[in-house]
Amino acid sequence: MRLSEHRYSTVRSVQGPLIFVERVIDARMGEVVSIEFPDGRRGEGEVLKIDRGVVLIQIVGESRGLDVERSGVVFTDAVKKAPLGLDVIGRVFDGSFTPLDGQPMFVPERWTSIAGPPLNPVARAGPADPIETGVSAIDGLNTLVRGQKLPLFSAAGLPAKEIAAGILEHARGAGGSFAVVFVALGLTYHEYAFYREALTRTGSDVVAFINLAKDPVVERLLAPRFGLTVAEYLAFEHGRDVLVLITDMTNYCDALREVSTAREELPGRRGYPGYMFSDLASLYERAARIKDLPGSVTLLPVVTMPDDDITHPIPDLTGYITEGQIVLSRELHQRGIFPPVDVLPSLSRLMQRGIGDGRTRADHRQIANAIYAHYARGRDLRRLEAIVGRDGMNATDTRLLDFADAFEREIVHQGAEPRTMTDTLDRSRALLGRFELTLS
């Protein structure tokens, strides 16, 4: 413990969101610093690296106007913490936890570190309860489970936000409605306005952290950590089921890359830092249920695949951490199917634990397996049809072709109307019956 604040005016260099300060005595890793601008403004920063007396600081917010001669840095001896309290509900904050809704800051019950210590794997409760999202392609075939992290893999121009907003609005679990933590990262104002509208419609308790495209890049790295810290508080201290929507993780990763490059770190694939996997894991793995505690944190990140490429490092590393993915398809979107979920590359790893008798319905697994098998065959046969034409195919094959079409038009496509789990399963079963396809 230091007895007082330490103030230094030994700034050595400033580059983008980073400053180096020299001759610092005993800085703390992750320590919060207050930065005094020459014009009297104050900013905040965090210690990223210590090398003898030289300390690298990442500035949160605007770095314009800093200089080497007159700027000052005050070390606070504390690491970044988030204020917590039930009054956080219903509020809107920016990426440094400052209210954006014109109301004064609430009085916190306490402060807690935003880094989030890892959950002991033996304290995790196995995921089991399904969440009804209202989307047939998810509920029927890629069921979301409480405590799961399931990203939406989208691409430029695809309606990810409409789907995400629909899920926020309609998601229901066994215990009723969810509290929602919404984290906007690098969104345009237009996108944010859309979500704001949707969030008011949910009628749930909402906490929002908004970092728009114009806002500081470093806050993009903080906002999801604030969001998750609040989500864990609501879930594990107040027993709430919390749905966390983070959009767009691609902007998060680009911010990570920007800061890493400024630090002159060695770039990995496509310039993203080598620690991006661990960094993403430190966010995604906070989705959880805990043994002997009510409440859950379920995570729905939106990832925009650059150039529709699922092997791009962002969707790739995400897919290696999350428990499956919901993949949107440009082709289905162009055919007017909404939501354009391509069920073949989509996957919910925890589905097996969330469906069946007592959870959804006894025949759920059989229906899902049958739909998958027949739809996959139908999709394969489309390539054959393109070469030999429909006339060159036998009756079994043409029936599967028609089934694949009908599945996309009638089950995947549902427009803006939510469907109940029962409705999804009934329709799927009826469709299989209509094509005389058996449950496997």
Partner 1 sequence: MSGRIIGISGPTVSVEAAGLKLYERVVIGDARLTGEVVRLERSRAIVQVYEGTRGLRAGEPVQPTGTELTVRLGPGLLGRMFDGLQRPLLQIREEQGPFIRAGGAPPAVGEGPEWHDWPVRVPRPYRTKVSTLEPLITGQRAIDFLFPLAKGGTAIFPGGFGTGKTLLEQSIAKFGDVDVVVYVGCGERGNEMAEMIEEFAALRDRGTGRPLMDRTVVVVNTSNMPVAAREASIYTAVTMAEYFRDQGKHVLLLADSLSRWAEALREISSALEEMPGEEGYPTYLASRLAEFFARAGTVETLDGRIGSLTLMLSVSPAGGDFTEPVTQACLRSAGALFMLDTALAHRRHFPAIDWFRSFSLYESGIVGHFDRRIAADWSTRRQQVRTLLQQEARLREVAEIVGTEGLQEADRHVMDVAEQIRRRFLMQNAYTEDAYSPPEHTYRRIVDILDARA
* Listed ranges 117-125, 172-180, 207-215, 238-246: which one lies at the site for partner 1 (CB under 8 A): 117-125
Asked if 277 touches partner 1 (CB under 8 A), the answer is yes
State which of positions 293-352 bind partner 1 (CB under 8 A). Answer: 293, 311-313, 316-317, 319-321, 323-325, 344-345, 347, 349-350, 352
State which of positions 139-178 bind partner 1 (CB under 8 A). Answer: 147-148
Phi-psi region of 152 (alpha: psi -120 to 50; beta: other; left: phi over 0): beta
* Listed ranges 120-128, 328-336, 404-412, 414-422: which one lies at the site for partner 1 (CB under 8 A): 120-128
Of 38, 274, 336, 433, the one binding partner 1 (CB under 8 A) is: 274
Euclidean distance between CA atoms 79 and 89, whole angstroms: 24
* Listed ranges 184-192, 267-275, 399-407, 418-426: which one lies at the site for partner 1 (CB under 8 A): 267-275
Euclidean distance between CA atoms 256 and 222, whole angstroms: 11
Residue 339, preceding bond cis, omega within 30 degrees? yes
Euclidean distance between CA atoms 297 and 180, whole angstroms: 10
* Listed ranges 123-131, 156-164, 172-180, 298-306: which one lies at the site for partner 1 (CB under 8 A): 123-131
In the bound state with partner 1, the residue whose beta carbon lies nearer, of 4 and 120, is 120
Euclidean distance between CA atoms 427 and 425, whole angstroms: 5
Of 156, 193, 388, 430, the one binding partner 1 (CB under 8 A) is: 388
* Listed ranges 5-13, 108-116, 169-177, 244-252: which one lies at the site for partner 1 (CB under 8 A): 108-116
In the complex, the smallest distance separating the C-beta of residue 392 from partner 1, rounded to whole angstroms, is: 4
Are the CB atoms for 288 and 114 separated by under 8 Å?
Answer: no
Asked if 138 touches partner 1 (CB under 8 A), the answer is no
State which of positions 7-26 bind partner 1 (CB under 8 A). Answer: 25-26
Asked if 107 touches partner 1 (CB under 8 A), the answer is no
The residue with tokens 């993915």 is 325
State which of positions 230-259 bind partner 1 (CB under 8 A). Answer: 236
Please give the helix or strand (H or E) that residue 185 lies within, else none: strand 179-187
Asked if 392 touches partner 1 (CB under 8 A), the answer is yes
The residue with tokens 């400053």 is 19
In the bound state with partner 1, the residue whose beta carbon lies nearer, of 16 and 30, is 30
- Of 430, 432, 429, residue with least CA distance to 404: 432
Are the CB atoms for 346 and 324 separated by under 8 Å?
Answer: yes
Asked if 30 touches partner 1 (CB under 8 A), the answer is yes
Edge-to-edge strand order for the sheet containing 179-187? 92-94, 206-212, 179-187, 241-247, 296-304, 152-154, 324-328, 341-348
In the bound state with partner 1, the residue whose beta carbon lies nearer, of 330 and 365, is 365
In the bound state with partner 1, the residue whose beta carbon lies nearer, of 153 and 195, is 153
String of DSSP letters for 146-189: TT-B--EEE-TTS-HHHHHHHHHHH-BBTTBPPEEEEEEEEE-H
